[in-house]
């Protein structure tokens, strides 16, 4: 699998970098691959992840090394929950605690409660502490209200 990312500042692709990529298995939090990305032109860089396993979820950090601030790091994730990594705001190479959060998002109880908006909740390991809560809206951003007595949930580990 190719890991591809784009480094830019103010909309202009940056060339001449030698970004480092680190790929972690989400289940174990261990680094399973790392190396220097190849420049592909116009700010695009790629890394050939030869050990990719489609059944494994990964979190990927690409570090431009020489850039600073928000331009320095790019983060990606594979699998069903890949988009959630953007919510976590991964901006450093110290990602162990964030990998743990991603595991909780994937494995712990999820509920959509009766009543008002803001009711899609993922709980911590104790099944009572709210970790993440979203407003539930439709495609035009109108609130979706879960009808009474129709609570939806995913039990822990499902």
* Domain containing residue 20: CATH number: 2.60.40
pTM above 0.95, yes or no: no
Domain that holds residue 123: 109-150
Q: 3-state class of 74 per DSSP? A: strand
d(C-alpha 120, C-alpha 146), whole Å: 10
Number of domains in the chain: 2
149: CB partners within 8 A, 6+ apart: 114
* One domain, residues 15 and 54: yes
Specify if 157 maps to a domain: no
Residues with Cβ within 8 Å of residue 23, at least 6 apart in sequence:
3, 31, 32, 33, 34, 49, 58, 59, 60
Residues 96 and 20 both lie in one domain: yes
Q: Name the band, by pLDDT with cuts 50, 70 and 90, for residue 92.
A: very low
Give the mean pLDDT of 76-95. Answer: 55
pLDDT per residue as tens digits for the range 46-83: 999 999 887 788 889 999 999 988 889 998 877 655 55
Q: How far apart are CA 85 and CA 21, in angstroms?
A: 16
Residue 91 has pLDDT above 50, yes or no: no
Same domain (yes/no): 66, 118:
no
Would you state the pLDDT for residue 130? 74
Residues 102, 86 within the same domain: yes
């Amino acid at each position: 699998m190719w890991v591809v990312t784009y480094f830019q500042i103010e909309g202009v692709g940056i060339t001449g970098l030698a970004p480092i990529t680190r790929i972690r298995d989400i289940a174990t939090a261990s680094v399973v691959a790392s190396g220097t990305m190849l420049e592909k032109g116009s700010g695009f860089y790629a890394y050939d992840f030869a050990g990719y396993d489609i059944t494994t979820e990964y979190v990927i950090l690409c570090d431009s090394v020489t850039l600073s601030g928000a331009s320095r790091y790019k983060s990606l994730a594979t699998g069903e929950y890949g988009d959630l990594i953007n919510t976590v705001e991964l901006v450093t190479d110290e990602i162990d605690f964030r990998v743990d959060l991603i595991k909780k998002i994937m494995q712990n109880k999820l509920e959509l409660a009766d009543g008002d908006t803001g009711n899609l909740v993922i709980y911590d390991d104790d099944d009572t502490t709210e970790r993440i809560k979203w407003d539930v809206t439709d495609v035009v951003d109108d609130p979706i209200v879960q009808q009474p007595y129709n609570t939806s949930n995913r039990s822990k580990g499902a």
